[in-house]
Amino acid sequence: MHKITIAIDGYSSTGKSTVAKQLADWLEYVYVDTGAMYRAVTLFAMQNDMIIEEKVNTSKLIAALPAIQLEFKKNTSNGKAEIFLNGKNVEKDIRHLHVSEYVSPVATISEVRRKLVEQQKKMGEGKGVVMDGRDIGTVVFPNAELKIFMTASAEQRAQRRYNELLERGDDVMYQDVLENVQERDHIDTTRKDSPLRKAKDAIEIDNSEMNMEDQFHTILQLAKDRIAGRV
């Protein structure tokens, strides 16, 4: 069957990855979580003393970029693609609030973006891919057949992320999670290189009041229409 490229962009914690994974499973497409790639680079910087007194040592990180190797591998026990940083599975480590605090500044570095965008383009070469992030419809795949832009209020998103972190057993406060969401929105939308923007031809979905099931079916229908060439 005719395969397409699906780009899902939007603010943090809008449920992009949940819906992207569901879509990829249903369509038997490859799912790529590009946020995980920026998070893994951030973890690398943290582990190699490139973040000191809350500041990212940009030149040190840029010099070390060739030594960063990222790969997604399927976990056979749950069928999910997990991220490996230089051969080590870091899927869990990259989700900590600590990584979230530094990932947006790291994602402003053009050299980091260039490296990751190049890898993302290669992963989508054969189509049949659902990729989520901030610049997928604008920079990585400007010709994607389906582009979705997801939004929800900052409070709703912080509540969702807070619940996820609590479920994982992390000791966090709602206010800190909300501040992190707001701070990341600000950095992601105002950075010079590839700021978070809705592509002109993207379909905006505000899921503040939408349940996950309805949202999935809405997006799946949009995908089916494009695969069938109805749009």
Please give the residue ranges that form the binding site for ligand DC (CB under 6 A).
12, 34-35, 38-39, 103-104, 107, 133-135, 184, 188
Closest to ligand DC by CB, 119 vs 227, is: 119
Number of helices (H), then strands (E), belonging to the chain: the values are 8, 10
CB of 133 to ligand DC, least distance (A): 2
Closest to ligand DC by CB, 28 vs 54, is: 54
- φ/ψ bin of 31: left (φ > 0), alpha (ψ from -120 to 50), beta (otherwise): beta
Instruction: Name 52's Cβ contacts closer than 8 Å, sequence gap at least 6.
Output: none
Instruction: Name 58's Cβ contacts closer than 8 Å, sequence gap at least 6.
Output: 109
CB of 182 to ligand DC, least distance (A): 12
Closest to ligand DC by CB, 196 vs 222, is: 196
CB of 86 to ligand DC, least distance (A): 19
Cα Rg for the chain, rounded, in angstroms? 17
Closest to ligand DC by CB, 135 vs 145, is: 135
Closest to ligand DC by CB, 38 vs 44, is: 38
Closest to ligand DC by CB, 153 vs 227, is: 153
Query: Where in the chain does DSSP place strands (E)?
Result: 5-10, 30-33, 51-52, 55-56, 70-74, 81-85, 88-89, 129-133, 146-151, 203-206
Instruction: Quickly list DSSP for 48-100.
Output: TT-EETTEE-HHHHHHHGGG--EEEEE-TTT--EEEEETTEE-TTGGGSHHHH
CB of 1 to ligand DC, least distance (A): 27
- The three-state secondary structure class of 195 is coil
CB of 150 to ligand DC, least distance (A): 11
CB of 116 to ligand DC, least distance (A): 7
- φ/ψ bin of 116: left (φ > 0), alpha (ψ from -120 to 50), beta (otherwise): alpha
